[in-house]
Each structure stands twice: as structure tokens, then as C-alpha cells.
Amino acid sequence: MSDFGFALQLMGIGMITVFIILSLVVLIGNLIIRFVNKYLPEEVSKKVEKIAEQTTALNRKKVAAIVSAVKTVTEGKGHVTKIEKMS
Amino acid sequence: MAILEKLYNMTAIQDFIDGPGTILMLVIGALLLYLGIKKKYEPLLLIPIAFGLILANLPGGGMGVVPAEYIQIDEHHYKNLFEIAHDHGIMNFLYYSLIKTGFLPPIIFMGVGALTDFGPMLRNLRLAFFGAAAQIGIFTVLLSAIAFGFTPAEAGSLGIIGGADGPTAIYTTIMLAPHLLGPIAIAAYSYMALVPVIVPLVARKLCSEKELRINMKEMDKLYPPKRKIKNLKAVKIAFPIVLGIVIAIFVPSSVPLLGMLLFGNLIKEVGVTVARLSDAATGSIMNTATIFLGLTVGATMTSEVFLNVQTIMIIVGGFIAFAISIAGGILAVKVYNLFARKKINPLVGATGLSAVPMASRVANEIAIQYDPKNHVLQYCMASNISGVIGSAVAAGVLISFLG
């Protein structure tokens, strides 16, 4: 086979391989998301819900940001149990 | 008089007179330094490459990388590292131990992985397909380069520039055509630096104003995603582990690059417990690797190797590969939009090549010019990150078939 014919074949193989691998990326991503959603839903979101129920003035995104910030700063050891607006 | 002659012979003046190519190479080195320092074109790599080039071309300095034949004893035996250092100097010691072994590109990929956030891609998984379409430039230029007289291995190294990923281009070239390493590295990093010029050029030629105005967030509101991620951190930790194993099964030759990328990403996502590892991967290790990679790649560019027609063809071919890759991603989105209700902005396709995150930032700026509320950065990052995986897989295929 000529070099050009071989390169043409390689083009087909290469593009199909890349497409298959990225299809697998999509498939694996979706499977992991399904598995995690079913068996490992985030605790923080439950906590956010709980805290957000107590607070009316703060919106949920702000509560989520505060909970995440506390978690990061305390390296996962600290927890927000209540948020009160001072004024 | 004899003493004066000896003194003259000690200097490199006669070498400069005998070899005008040396002076031309020093001018090229100075130009690259100017682009890196003044214009800030990929300065982290361009400055070490340019200085390595200058060192390699200083007559009598012994800093230029010698061809592989010089260190080969017979068909399967090479000089050991002590002999290389003794016979050819420290630059060859660094090149043959760190570059020729394929050591540094995967190390840099580990750092890239530790800097990469797969979150945008996981939130918009269907956009990952456009990272595949944008690899078309690699294979189109492979074909063209063969037509212009390159060997298949050389053509593969040239084509990989279209992946817009520096470490991938260098790794592939080391494996397939190490004698072209210098010009290919220069072309790859120069065009990555020129992403803010090339992406708008191709996107404006191929997209209508209406297409560039497609608002992805509005589309998300009209057609909301089927499922939300309830624990993104857990998904991000599991993803590199599972993906690494699956890719290793299908394209094992891409594992040195992708395996290290995914490992780097894993230590980033695990978080504070291994923060020291991710700090090292993105800091001291990556910076050290970048210095040695730049200097040694630059040192391969001696006047005898660099000043030829092939170099010019690589520079031109690299640009074409880059442009075709961008066009391939855009055209894939256009075809998708013909059949889908939920339209996608073609700029998402334009970022299907690597060059993370600059390509996404440039695409976002273009979208904002047409509609100030249309922030497409997160969506472009999805195809941009999948482009990194796509180009590494394409490199794996090329190495498997041509190596």
C-alpha cells in the first residue's frame, strides 16, 4: 500500500478512535453521575437545605457558598449549623 | 605572532565568519526572546527555548544537541549517560536523559492535570463530542505532508501540531521523528500563543452573526439538562480513575500522557489531604520540567538542523493543521444544529482543540462582542478539555501505527 493510502486509512482509524474514546468519556461520565446521585448524594446539599430552611433573608446560593467556604477553610472539620443576620 | 594566532584560534570569531547560519540562528533566537519577553507569547516556554537555541548555536560552546547516531554504539546499544555527558556535554546529557526517554512531557501533563477542572465538561457532557471533531486537522495535515514528501512518521509529528497541545506535540515527535523536535515545538507553541488571532479569524470566516449570537444559557433554560449532579466532588474523584483504566484498555499508547494527566487531576480533586502533592505537581515539579524541556528543545535547533526547507514547511503545515482543527469543530456544531432543537454556539466547536484555557477565553470574548450577556466560557471549556483528551488519544494512535 502507498504511503498516501496508508495515511488515508490512518485518518479513518484515528478519527473513529478519538470519537469512540470521547463517546466513552460521555458514557463513563453519565454512569458515574447516575451512580453518585443514587448512592452518594452530597451531604453539604442536605445541610444547605436544612440551614436554608432556617433562614429566610439569605438566598440558597449564599448559604451554599458559606457552607463550602467553612468546609474548605476548616479542612472538612467545621460545620455550619445556623446562620443569623446581625442587622 | 604565533601567540596572537593561537589567541585568535581560541576565540569563536572565525567560526562566526565561516558559518553565517550561526548568526542567522542567533537572530532567530533573539526574535523568539523578543516574542516571549515583549509580546508575552507563551513566555514560560518560549524564553527557555529561545535561550537554549542561542546556547546551542554559540560556536565552541558544545551545548547543541547532537544527532542520535553520535551516541549509538551499534543497532541496539547506546552510550550510557556518563559517556554522553563526557563526550557531548551537559545539554546532551539533559536531552538524552529527560527528552529522548519521553520523560518530561508526561511530567508536564501531570501538572496540567492538576490545573484542570473537569467540572465544566461533566456538567455539559454532550459537548465533549466536539473535542473529537476538532482533531481532523491532525489527520488532514498528515495526508498533505505525505503528499509533500515527508515520511509517514514525520507527517504524523507535523500533523499533531493541529492538536494545539505542546506536551503532546513534543511527546509524539520524540517518538516518531526526533530530528524535527525543534521546529515542531516552536510551531506548536507559537500557534498556541496565536490562538487569540487564529480562532477569531477562522470563526468569523465560517460563522454567521446569528450563529455567534446563540445564547447557551438561554438554551439551557429552554431545554434544561435532564439530570443535575448531586455530588460533584465525588464525581470528579471517580472520573479520572475510571476513565484512566478504560482508556488504557482501548489506547494503551496514550497512557503515558493521559495517565499522568488523570493522576494530576485526581490529586487536585482529592483536595486538602494531598494538597502538598498537587502543589508540587503544579509548582516546583512542573516549573523545573518546563525549564529543562524548553532549554533542551531549544538546544536541538542548531543551524545545520533548523535552516532548511523542511522547517518552513513545518511552520506552514502547522498553521494549516491548527486552522483546520478549529474549522472542523465549528463545522461539527453546524451539522449538529441542523438536527437539534437545542442549538449550540459554534464557538463551542472552535474550542475543541486543546490550548486550554486560552481558546475558551478567546471564544468567550468573541461571543460577548455580539451579545454582552452571552457568556460561553463554561460551555467552551467542556469541548476544550475534551480536546486535550482527544489530541492525546490521536497522538496514541499515531505512535501505535507509525512508531
**Any CB–CB contact under 8 A between A24 and chain B?**
yes
> Is B303 a residue whose pLDDT tops 90?
no
Q: What is the SS3 assignment for B64-90? A: CCCCHHHCEEECCEECCHHHHHHHHCH
Is A33 within 8 Å of chain B by CB?
A: yes
- B79: number of CA atoms within 13 Å, CB side? 19
Q: Within the 3-22 window of chain A, which residues sit less than 8 Å (CB to CB) from chain B?
A: 3-4, 6-8, 10-11, 13-15, 17-22
- Three cell numbers written together for B209: 452573526
**Whether the predicted pLDDT of B130 surpasses 90:** yes
- pLDDT score, position B39: 87
The whole-number pLDDT of residue A55 equals: 60
> If we measure between CA atoms, which residue out of B100, B9, B91, B84 comes closest to residue B55?
B91
- Is B125's CB within 8 Å of A30's CB? yes
Per-residue pLDDT band at B153 (split at 50, 70, 90): very high
Q: Do B389 and A22 touch (CB under 8 A)?
A: yes
Question: Å from B403 to nearest chain A CA?
Answer: 13
Q: Kindly report the average pLDDT of chain B as a whole number.
A: 91
Contact A26 B246 (CB under 8 A): no
Q: Which of B136-150, B178-192, B289-303 has the lowest mean pLDDT?
A: B178-192
pLDDT tens per residue, range B365-394: 999 999 999 999 999 999 999 999 999 999
Residue B262 near residue B244, CB atoms below 8 Å: yes
pLDDT at B100: 86
A&B contacts, CB < 8 Å:
128
Mean pLDDT of B333-348: 94
| pLDDT tier at A43, thresholds 50, 70, 90 | low
What residues does each domain of chain A span?
1-41, 43-87
The mean pLDDT of B351-363, rounded to a whole number, is 88
**B275 near A CB under 8 A:** no
Residue A57 has pLDDT above 70, yes or no: no
Model confidence at B350: pLDDT above 90: yes
Query: Does residue B357 or residue A50 have the better pLDDT?
Result: B357
- Whether residues B230 and A34 touch (CB distance < 8 A) is answered with no
Does the beta carbon of B152 lie under 8 angstroms from any beta carbon of chain A?
yes
B191 or B381: which carries more pLDDT confidence? B381
Contact between B126 and A23 using a beta-carbon 8 Å cutoff: no
Query: Where does residue B20 rank: exposed (0-12), middle (13-18), buried (19+ CB within 10 A)?
Result: exposed
For A61-73, what is the mean pLDDT?
78
Question: What share of chain A in percent tops pLDDT 90?
Answer: 37
What was the pLDDT predicted at B349? 94
Q: Sketch the domain layout of chain B as residue ranges.
A: 101-402
**B143–A21 CB contact, under 8 Å:** no
Residue of A nearest to B147 (CA): A4
Query: Given this model, what pLDDT does residue A82 score?
Result: 76
List pLDDT tens digits, range B387-396.
Answer: 999 999 999 9
Q: How confident is the model at residue A44 (pLDDT cuts 50, 70, 90)?
A: low
CA B363 to the chain's CA centroid? 19
Contacts of A46 in chain B (CB under 8 A): none
A22–B129 C-beta distance less than 8 A? yes
* Nearest CA-CA distance, residue B252 and chain A, Å: 12
pLDDT digits (tens, 9 = 90+) for A3-18: 888 999 999 999 999 9
Examine the pLDDT at A32 and tell me if it is beyond 80. Answer: yes
Q: How confident is the model at residue A85 (pLDDT cuts 50, 70, 90)?
A: confident
Share of chain B above pLDDT 70, in %: 100
Predicted pLDDT of residue A51: 66
Give the whole-number percent of chain B exceeding pLDDT 90: 66
The pLDDT assigned to A56 comes to 59
pLDDT band of residue A52 (cuts 50, 70, 90) is low
Predicted confidence band of residue A28 (pLDDT cuts 50, 70, 90): very high
Sequential DSSP letters for B24-68? HHHHHHHHHHHHHHTS-SSHHHHHHHHHHHHHHHSTT---SPPPG
Residues 6+ apart with CB under 8 A from B141: B155, B158, B159, B161, B162, B317, B318, B320, B321, B324
d(CA B374, CA B305) in angstroms, rounded, equals 48
In this prediction the ipTM stands at 0.85
| Nearest to B152, CA basis, from B144, B366, A71, B348 | B144
Query: pLDDT (tens digit, 9 = 90+) per residue, B32-82?
Result: 999 999 988 888 888 999 999 999 999 888 899 998 889 888 878 889 999
Count CA atoms within 13 Å of residue B255 on its CB side. Answer: 11
